[in-house]
Amino acid sequence: MGVEVSRLSNGLTIATETLAHIESVSLGVWVKSGSRDEHDGEHGIAHLLEHMAFKGTSKRTARQIATDIENVGGEINAATSVETTAFFARVLKDDMPLAIDILSDILTESRFDADELEREKNVILQEIGAAHDTPDDIVFDRFTETAFRNQTLGRSILGTPETVRAFTAPQLRGFLERQYAAERMVVVAAGAVDHDTFVREVEKRLGGLQQHCKATPPQPAHYEGGDFRESRDLMDAQIVLGFEGRAYHVRDFYASQVLSMILGGGMSSRLFQEVREQRGLCYSVYAFHWGFSDTGIFGIHAATGKEDIAELVTVLLAELKKAGEGILPEELDRARAQYRAGLLMSQESPSSRASQIARQMLLYGRPIPTDELMDRLSKLTTDRLADLSGRLFSAHPTVAAVGPVGSLPAFDAVRDMLSGPSVMPHKLAV
């Protein structure tokens, strides 16, 4: 049957996909608003709002929200990202109306009680502290802060202890009213769901949601790049090397996704084989590409001991330059197969499928058929990927490192190695 889409009179988009032989339904509300939409003085408010949605409404206490969904064996949660916030649940098919009622309740009737707010601030302060104490988390925060310096896109989603402590209930209400409106939301369900029934249940509860809000587009992102390193007395150094990536809508987005898989998307990838298997220089290495609405970031993360940092970075840079000189047909075929398998396997999970549909609706305004995605991948060529590699990795880099980083090559040396001739260091016996 595929994905069915309806729109209510207030502009709210509703999409469903029925999955055979499944007794549960995954559903949620996705909002086109995240940490990037915060104004000055609001750093972390999008994440705090997500937390506070579960802390009591005019109909339910915080405890009742939890017990109502768990009394039927269901699950409920939420997540904040840079450009979206999601509130979602999974229940057995007969309990779908209850799940919609709870999600609608927390989105439209949250009380933002003062005592609950203070308790939740303390929870988030602990979350911030835990992230700071986890090197492989904090290095990514420093990486994005360096890549997009002094921009909301580069800020951590959690906020800072100072900003979180200062938030008030009126600020939360103001952010909610400014950012949350039907035109910026999609309601999606996947699994044991009937589209018409689902639309009726959503309309009962969210049909009166405000259509428009006063949200303004965030400032355009400007990739800057640069260098951040923090010396800590740790066993291993966490290193992220990155470059400006590609936005969701541009021609090279899918090529960038595939290139990240070829370089560091699995045990057969170039970086895993060369850096870990052949040289034993680290226990973890992978590549990633994150797309946003107007830019992206392409990066490589590695974790290694201090005695191997210099050689590791040299090998990583040499592999990036080699990618610009050529990609093998079998590498492209393998990456295509991995992408296809990952896509099809994710569609077997109602939760993953609902999230995938919601993301496509928010980004492109329509669900993207699997055949269309496969067609885009089939048109990629090795020459195009090599050309993309040459353009990506010759640009201004971003380097972030946390740990015993004294032997990490200087930023200027990293930049010079990228712009100089390709030289692969001699392999050491391992």
Task: Report the Cα 234 to chain-centroid distance in Å.
Answer: 27
CB atoms within 10 A of CB 329: 9
Which residues, including other chains, have CB under 8 Å from residue 339's CB and lie 6 or more apart?
A: 257, 258, 261, 377
Sequential DSSP letters for 158-216: T--HHHHHH--HHHHHHHHHHH--GGGEEEEEEES--HHHHHHHHHHHHTTS-S-----
> Do strands 13-18 and 185-191 pair parallel, antiparallel, or not at all (unpaired)?
parallel
The residue assigned the tokens 């010759």 is 394
Nearest CA to 356 out of 339, 368, 371, 374 is that of: 368
Is 50 annotated as catalytic? yes
Catalytic-role residue among 17, 38, 42, 50 = 50
What CA–CA distance (Å, rounded) separates 140 from 146? Answer: 10
Query: What is the rounded distance in angstroms from the CA atom of residue 367 to the CA atom of residue 4?
Result: 9
Q: Structure tokens of 280?
A: 């034993």
Angstrom distance (rounded) from CA 205 to CA 215? 23
Instruction: Give catalytic residues, as residue numbers.
Output: 50
